[in-house]
Amino acid sequence: MLDVVADDPVTRPVDLLAQAMSDADLLAAVAAGDREQPLRELYQRYGGRVYGLGVQLLSDRGLAEELVQETFVRLWRSAGRYEPSRGSAATFIFTIARRLAIDLWRRPSSRAPDPEHKAPPTDDQIDRLVTRLGVRDALDSLSEAHRQVLELSYRDQLKQTEIAEKLGIPLGTVKTRSHHALRLLKSELQRRDIDG
- Cα separation, 57 vs 50, in Å, equals 10
Same CATH topology for 1-118 and 141-196: the answer is: no
Say what the pLDDT of residue 131 is: 79
53: CB partners within 8 A, 6+ apart: 64, 67, 94, 97, 98, 101, 126, 129, 130, 133
Say what the pLDDT of residue 165 is: 96
Residues 123-181 pLDDT 10s = 777 778 777 877 887 888 889 999 999 999 998 999 999 999 999 999 999 999 999 99
Residue 157 φ then ψ, to 5°: 60, 35
pTM score of the predicted model = 0.62
CATH of domain 141-196: 1.10.10.10
Residues 35-82 pLDDT 10s = 789 999 999 999 998 998 898 888 889 999 999 999 999 999 999 999
DSSP 20-81: HS-HHHHHHHHHTT--SHHHHHHHHHHHHHHHHHHHHHHS-HHHHHHHHHHHHHHHHHHGGG
CATH of 1-118, one of 1.10.1740.10, 2.60.40.10, 1.10.12.10, 3.40.50.720: 1.10.1740.10
Say what the pLDDT of residue 66 is: 94
Each domain of the chain, given as residue ranges in start order, spans 1-118, 141-196
Integer angstrom CA distances of residue 180 from 120, 143, 146, 147, 162 = 40, 11, 8, 10, 19
Residues 94-128 pLDDT 10s = 889 988 988 888 876 655 545 455 666 677 777 78
Share in percent of the chain as helix, strand, coil (round to 5): 75, 0, 25
Model confidence at 14: pLDDT above 80: no
Say what the pLDDT of residue 6 is: 44
